[in-house]
Amino acid sequence: MTAPEPQRSIGRSIGALVAGLVVGIVLSLGTDAILRVTGIFPPFGQLMSSGMFVLAITYRVIYSVLASYIAARLAPDRPMWHAMVLGVINLVVSLIGALATWNKGPEYGAHWYPLSLVVLALPAAWLGGRFYTARRSPWSATREYFAR
């Protein structure tokens, strides 16, 4: 088996990251919308209870783990690196969101909510990558190395 062409490998890396991003975004925003339509979350602009913010953190972290798993699974090589790159992207976006909503009003919740998303971004990514790499047998990396 020959090594993948660099151009193709870069394309597959970008595709793995985009796939992970899309999964995370679609699931998070979709769940937000469903919870608003069903009345579990209040309409936009209204105050949400701390318990609802805990629920939002919970599913966002689960979706981040899944998104990182998908990025690792689709990566042409270095699956954990791909999962962690997705985690860094999530960290940056969460940090921007925290800064953009800081002191904007009670409808954005207490400061612990956006800060928790920032703090949990990298551990969730690591966990998603680890779930993928743990599935592989210890010998699969060795076989892949010698198959080059």
pLDDT per position as a tens digit, 28-79: 999 999 999 999 999 988 889 999 999 999 999 999 999 999 999 999 999 9
Question: pLDDT-based confidence at 6, cuts 50/70/90?
Answer: low
pLDDT per position as a tens digit, 7-39: 778 999 999 999 999 999 999 999 999 999 999
Is residue 125 within 8 A of residue 86, CB to CB? The reply is: yes
**Mean pLDDT value of segment 113-141:** 87
Torsion angle of C-alpha atoms 134, 136, 140, 142, degrees rounded to 10 = -10
